[in-house]
Amino acid sequence: MIGRVKGTSRNLAVGGAALLALVTFACGPALYEIPIETPISAKLDVTAFQRVLVAGFVAGGTEDVDTNQETVRLLRSQLRTKSSLRVIDADVMPLQDIAQDQNKAATEVNDATISTANPSTQPTALPQHIKDEKDLEPYERLFANTTYWKRIGEEYQNPLIVTGTVLFIPRTSARFVQRETEVYDGLGRRRVVPVRTYVESKGFLLKPKFIFIDGRTGATIYSETRREEVLTNAQTNVPALSSYFELMDRIVPDFLGALSTQKVKGTRVLLK
Amino acid sequence: MKPGGLVVGALVAAMTLVSAPSFADARQEARSQVEFGINVAQRGLWREAIYRWEKAVELDPTYAAAFNNLAIAYEHEGQLDKARKAYEKALELDPNNSQIRQNYELFKEINDRTGQGNKS
């Protein structure tokens, strides 16, 4: 009797599986993965400009990479191939020195005209060596100086000007992580146990702020800040320049997205 | 029972009998529109797919999969506001569907990235 019941349930299971397979085959799959390209409109209307000047950046952080030079070079080459604007080839502007000079001039003017009774009107000193975000803050004044940027605009026949700040600093991190490890007991039986391990990582943080200035007026028309970080095992020696390009690779599409329509590739799942 | 009550009861029964098959028909028709839409979308004919899926949600406004597909097509065509609304409707109808949620998360990731800067 028991044998018959067992046989019947086995038959039922086989029949059920066959029916399910038949239904699946007859109805087809219910999910369809499909590639899509999402067009993202440009954030800025640049139809008024035919040319773009990537002027330079106030750069700080590690001295292993000349962040100002590299950023200008990279953005110019990307704009040449991926935007309709003509890229102006000009010397990279040493904006940190320019800001220092402007600050010095402003201090001298203040010294001559304003009495020392009101020291709050004195411009804040600009740090010579930029180590962190706080050191970059006083340099923001340079980008608000519309007279200066209007003059640069006139010099290059009113292009769109791209400038800003770039911070590229080394990072370290140390923390405990839980990993699963195989262990064998005295009888040779395998077990997987969680083990807490201390992991040290190092890498870099890249934080650029792109500022787009209208060369006709000297006014800022758009700005965008991005922050990317890469960390690898502390024993691995990754050159700073490689990390810089790896991080810029993630940032450049958004930078280009400000000036021209971009297509973002991806996949989605269609349902029946 | 009063004769009036009988008449009302008969009418309700008749309405139910008439409407039940028509709802089933609409669902069936919506399903075939969705399938056709998938077929054409796979060939890259996204506008035709949009037409089919819009028809499907019109026929059956409770069809979560049709809203999901419509959202994907809108996304592909760059109609991001419409895409967001369609994804939200799909999730409202089928909140536990992990595929719809995943599509929506991917969409949001792209959409959020577009609005990061500051216009002066």
pLDDT digits (tens, 9 = 90+) for B38-59: 999 999 999 999 999 999 999 9
Most confident of A2-11, A94-103, A198-207, B83-92: B83-92
Amino acid B91: pLDDT? 97
In the numeric block, which tokens belong to residue A146? Answer: 């519309």
8-state DSSP, B55: H
Please judge whether B117 and A222 are an interchain contact, meaning their C-beta atoms are less than 8 angstroms apart. yes
* Cβ pair A262, A40 in contact under 8 A: yes
Determine phi and psi for B22, rounding to 5 degrees: -70, -35
3-state secondary structure of A1: coil
Close Cβ partners of B85 (under 8 Å, ≥ 6 residues apart): none
- For all residues of chain A together, what is the average pLDDT? 86
Indicate the pLDDT class of residue A177, thresholds 50, 70 and 90: confident
Q: Which A residues in the span 227-256 are in contact with B, Cβ-Cβ below 8 Å?
A: 254
Residue A272 has pLDDT above 80, yes or no: yes
Q: Left (φ > 0), alpha (ψ -120 to 50) or beta: where does B11 sit?
A: alpha
Please judge whether A266 and B69 are an interchain contact, meaning their C-beta atoms are less than 8 angstroms apart. no
3-state secondary structure A49-66: CCEEEEEEEEEEECCCCC
How far apart are alpha carbons A89 and A95 in whole angstroms? 17
* Cβ pair B116, A254 in contact under 8 A: yes
Residue A47 has pLDDT above 60, yes or no: yes
Bridge-partner residues for A238, per DSSP?
none
Q: Residue B104, exposed/middle/buried by CB under 10 A (0-12, 13-18, 19+)?
A: buried
Provide the CA A93 distance to its chain's centre, in angstroms.
23
Amino acid A135: pLDDT? 92
Mean pLDDT computed over B56-74? 97
Q: Which helix (H) or strand (E) holds A212?
A: strand A190-214
In the numeric block, which tokens belong to residue B12? Answer: 């309700």
In the numeric block, which tokens belong to residue A143? Answer: 């980008």
Interface probe with B: pick from A31, A36, A163, A226, most Cβ of B within 10 Å: A36
In this structure, chain A runs to a length of: 272
Amino acid A30: pLDDT? 86
8-state DSSP, B73: H
How far apart are alpha carbons A92 and A230 in whole angstroms? 27
* Cβ pair A27, B67 in contact under 8 A: no
Please judge whether B103 and A269 are an interchain contact, meaning their C-beta atoms are less than 8 angstroms apart. yes
* Cβ pair A214, A153 in contact under 8 A: yes
Amino acid A27: pLDDT? 52
Residue A110 has pLDDT above 70, yes or no: no
Indicate the pLDDT class of residue B12, thresholds 50, 70 and 90: low
Indicate the pLDDT class of residue B112, thresholds 50, 70 and 90: confident
Bridge-partner residues for A168, per DSSP?
A61, A206
* Cβ pair B83, B74 in contact under 8 A: yes
Amino acid B73: pLDDT? 98
Residues of chain B contacting A, Cβ within 8 Å = 31, 34-35, 38, 41-42, 64-65, 68-69, 72, 75-78, 80, 97, 99-100, 102-103, 106-107, 110, 113-114, 116-120
Establish, for the pair of chains A and B, how many residue pairs have beta carbons separated by less than 8 Å. Answer: 78
Amino acid B74: pLDDT? 97
Indicate the pLDDT class of residue B5, thresholds 50, 70 and 90: low
Residue B72 has pLDDT above 90, yes or no: yes
* Cβ pair A260, A82 in contact under 8 A: yes
In the numeric block, which tokens belong to residue B117? Answer: 């800067």
Q: What percent of chain A has pLDDT over 90?
A: 55
Asked if this assembly's ipTM is beyond 0.85, the reply is no
Mean pLDDT computed over A30-55? 92
The pTM for the full model equals: 0.69
Residue A10 has pLDDT above 70, yes or no: no
Determine phi and psi for A207, rounding to 5 degrees: -130, 90
* Cβ pair A266, A38 in contact under 8 A: yes
Angle (CA) B107 B108 B109, round 5°: 90
3-state secondary structure B11-25: HHHHHHHHHHHHHHH
Bridge-partner residues for A173, per DSSP?
A201
Which ranges constitute the DSSP H helices of chain A? Answer: 2-27, 67-82, 95-113, 133-136, 140-144, 146-155, 240-257
Indicate the pLDDT class of residue A247, thresholds 50, 70 and 90: very high
In the numeric block, which tokens belong to residue A247? Answer: 């991080």
